[in-house]
Chains A and B, each alone.
Chain A
Amino acid sequence: MPVGLAHGVLWAVGLLPAAIAALALPGESLAGTSAVLNALGRVSGIAGLGLMLVAAIFSVRIPGIDRLFGGLTSLWRTHHLMGGVSFLLLLAHPLLLSLAAAEVSIGAAVTVLFPATGGLATWLGWVALLLMMIFLAPSFAFFGPPRYQRWKHLHKLSGVAAVLALVHTWWLARSIPAPWSTVIWSTLALAAVLALAYALLLARRAHRYPYQVVSVAHPANNVVELNLRPLGESLRYQAGQFVYLTPRDRTLSAGQGEEHPYTISSAPEEANLRIAIKDLGDASRAIQSISEGSSVDVMGPYGAFFPAHGNEAELWIAGGIGVTPFLGRARHLASVGHPVDIQMIYCVQDESRALFAEELRALSEQIPGFRLTMHYFYQEGPLSVDFVRVHCEDCGERQAYVCGPGPLNGLARQVLLESGLPRHRYHSEEFNLL
């Protein structure tokens, strides 16, 4: 199934209850402003809840499933967008219903929002909406950029909000015809519960691999590459994928027992797993001094940056720690030894920030058809169309893979599209919170 279609199916499922409700609206629902506002209010509530539940269901990280959707990052992007749309609809929901009642009186409009007696269902809806404001505040940076752990903890409130919203909807349900209302909401609720149960109970056993830190390399003063030996079964993965890593080292100053996503930098054929981590936050800073011999749990693999079977000409653009998936792929290509046609442009501030540059140079001599070009910001300025054209004349005909900090990804996309690269040949991986 094409990736776009897979994402479309998610939207369709989320909007299905609202579509049914809209079709079931009696004809009189559109007679007069008040009736239209009331109908819109109901349908927006149903659409908001439908999208919220679907976003919750597919936020469960099942290794392998994310490939159907073009990788976990792509799935997160849809989750983020769907959550935002759901939030907008659910904000509109009470306001529209209240405005609809304003035809009667301002008092009626206020009572719809704040019923004096017997409005428990309405108050449950309010609590759900307030919880949503709280758990989405960091996601949409209401009060500045979010801190990963706080965002993660607050996001757990979404479970409570979903349950309260379901009770609210079930209690007041009258827009979707009788049996269907129960069928639809029960199915979505059951799917959400199953997804959560899977995430909390099964996934931890099925896709969690214990490893031990054998050695820690320091390619730069703020980057480590952990060399991990499997304590049981080894993780099977493809080059460029990523994992959620949970360090168990009790001496860590932060992030002990917390899972964070990191890219695998080793080749799949290697006996040990290597993961390169740059100091970008509290947990990744603490992990710079992880003890050798300590254990870690690895969950994954996730991501579909590189195609499973690709033999087209490729252009790689890496920036900073975004070099890791390319490093993993280059190490893999070196061990396979087949000729390739890959041009890599590695963007860094200056020579001292070029992580793994020595190894990449050696790999470019070893792998037939792999060319490495360094782009130093202090010499060349920002990446430009001219630079790309000079070093990669046929870049428009290649598959382009870009991984770096957000601004570089944005710039590279612009430069490549201007250089004639068709949109569908552009692939990027991000490592910041959306």
Chain B
Amino acid sequence: MKKLCYSAFVAFWSSIATLLALQAVATDEAPDTQAGAAVISLEELAVHNSEADCWMAIEGKVYNLSDYLPKHPTPASMLVPWCGKEATEGMRTKGYGRDHSPMAWEMLQTYEVGTLADGASAD
């Protein structure tokens, strides 16, 4: 057990270091695109309100989640009502008061298509 735990301890930090090194390299190769440049109004957002074409506004940013819906842990039908709408509440509470994980928030960034027009995010 002593050797196993020590090996795991070393392997753990090696993995963390590898991951950080990979990130450093990856960032160099993939500079940010113009994601988030577009300003989107609530009217425009409301057009994308189906499972096949689903946009959501969350905390001032707009995301195109059409490709993601099939991958979501709970069935897509739970999310469709939020399509085309300001969905911060859904993201922050999952409908029962629990926030999504840091991983979920990070994944969300990859689907960003623009910023919600000023003043449009008020509930």
Interface residues of A (CB under 8 A from B): 26, 28-29, 32, 35, 38, 80-81, 84, 87-88, 91, 95, 97-98, 100-101, 104-113, 115, 118-119, 121-122, 133, 136, 140-142, 172-174, 178
Nearest-CB distance from B52 to chain A (Å)?
Answer: 19
B4 within 8 A of A: yes
* Chain B residue with the shortest CB-CB distance to A97: B103
- Can you list, as one digit per residue, whether each of B66-88 has a CB less than 8 Å from chain A (1) or not (0)? 00000111110000000000000
Q: In the complex, which residues 72-123 of chain B have their Cβ closer than 8 Å to any Cβ of chain A?
A: 72-75, 94, 96, 98, 101-103, 105-107, 109-110
15 A-B pairs with CB atoms under 8 Å apart are: A28-B74, A32-B71, A38-B103, A91-B9, A101-B103, A101-B106, A104-B106, A105-B26, A107-B26, A107-B106, A108-B103, A108-B107, A113-B16, A118-B105, A174-B101
B47 within 8 A of A: no
Distance in angstroms between the alpha carbons of A173 and B94 in the assembled complex: 13
Chain A neighbourhood of B96, CB < 8 A: 178
A84, B1: Cβ atoms closer than 8 Å: yes
Contact of B6 among A95, A100, A112, A142 (CB under 8 A): A142
Chain A neighbourhood of B23, CB < 8 A: 106-107, 109-110
B102, A118: Cβ atoms closer than 8 Å: yes
Chain B neighbourhood of A178, CB < 8 A: 96
Contact of A84 among B5, B26, B94, B107 (CB under 8 A): B5
B6, A110: Cβ atoms closer than 8 Å: no
**Known A106-B19, A112-B102: A95·B12 in contact at CB below 8 Å:** yes
Chain B neighbourhood of A122, CB < 8 A: 102
How many A-B residue pairs have C-beta atoms within 8 angstroms? Tell me. Answer: 91
Nearest-CB distance from B115 to chain A (Å)?
Answer: 18
B12, A136: Cβ atoms closer than 8 Å: no
B5, A140: Cβ atoms closer than 8 Å: yes
Distance in angstroms between the alpha carbons of A32 and B73 in the assembled complex: 11
B103, A87: Cβ atoms closer than 8 Å: no
Nearest-CB distance from B45 to chain A (Å)?
Answer: 23
Contact of B2 among A108, A113, A115, A141 (CB under 8 A): A141
Contact of A80 among B1, B16, B74 (CB under 8 A): B1
- The secondary-structure label for the interface of chain A is helix
Chain A neighbourhood of B101, CB < 8 A: 112, 172, 174
A106, B5: Cβ atoms closer than 8 Å: no
Contact of B106 among A26, A29, A108, A121 (CB under 8 A): A108
B27 within 8 A of A: yes
Distance in angstroms between the alpha carbons of A113 and B101 in the assembled complex: 11
B1, A111: Cβ atoms closer than 8 Å: no
Distance in angstroms between the alpha carbons of A315 and B72 in the assembled complex: 65
Known contacts A95-B15, A110-B23, A119-B102; 6 further A-B pairs (Cβ under 8 A):
A35-B73, A88-B4, A105-B26, A118-B102, A173-B98, A174-B101
Distance in angstroms between the alpha carbons of A106 and B16 in the assembled complex: 12
Nearest-CB distance from A103 to chain B (Å)?
Answer: 9
- The secondary-structure label for the interface of chain B is helix
Distance in angstroms between the alpha carbons of A118 and B59 in the assembled complex: 14
B22 within 8 A of A: yes
A87, B8: Cβ atoms closer than 8 Å: yes
Interface residues of B (CB under 8 A from A): 1-2, 4-6, 8-9, 11-12, 15-16, 19-20, 22-23, 26-27, 71-75, 94, 96, 98, 101-103, 105-107, 109-110
* Chain A residue with the shortest CB-CB distance to B12: A91
Distance in angstroms between the alpha carbons of A429 and B5 in the assembled complex: 24
**Known A87-B8, A106-B19: A29·B1 in contact at CB below 8 Å:** no
Nearest-CB distance from B28 to chain A (Å)?
Answer: 11
B5, A105: Cβ atoms closer than 8 Å: no
Q: 10 nearest interchain CB pairs?
A: A115-B102, A111-B106, A140-B5, A84-B1, A108-B106, A112-B103, A106-B26, A91-B12, A119-B102, A110-B23
Chain A neighbourhood of B5, CB < 8 A: 84, 87-88, 136, 140, 142
Contact of A26 among B20, B73, B94 (CB under 8 A): B73
**Known A106-B22, A107-B26, A142-B9: A112·B98 in contact at CB below 8 Å:** no
Query: Which of A32, A81, A100, A112 has the most B CB atoms < 10 Å from its CB?
Result: A112
Distance in angstroms between the alpha carbons of A5 and B22 in the assembled complex: 47
B19, A109: Cβ atoms closer than 8 Å: yes
**Known A107-B26, A118-B102: A140·B107 in contact at CB below 8 Å:** no
B16, A107: Cβ atoms closer than 8 Å: no
A100, B103: Cβ atoms closer than 8 Å: yes
Distance in angstroms between the alpha carbons of A84 and B72 in the assembled complex: 34
* Chain B residue with the shortest CB-CB distance to A39: B73
B19, A29: Cβ atoms closer than 8 Å: no
Distance in angstroms between the alpha carbons of A299 and B19 in the assembled complex: 50
Distance in angstroms between the alpha carbons of A122 and B19 in the assembled complex: 17
Chain B neighbourhood of A133, CB < 8 A: 9
**Known A122-B102, A140-B1: A98·B107 in contact at CB below 8 Å:** no
Nearest-CB distance from B69 to chain A (Å)?
Answer: 12
* Chain B residue with the shortest CB-CB distance to A38: B103
Distance in angstroms between the alpha carbons of A360 and B70 in the assembled complex: 78
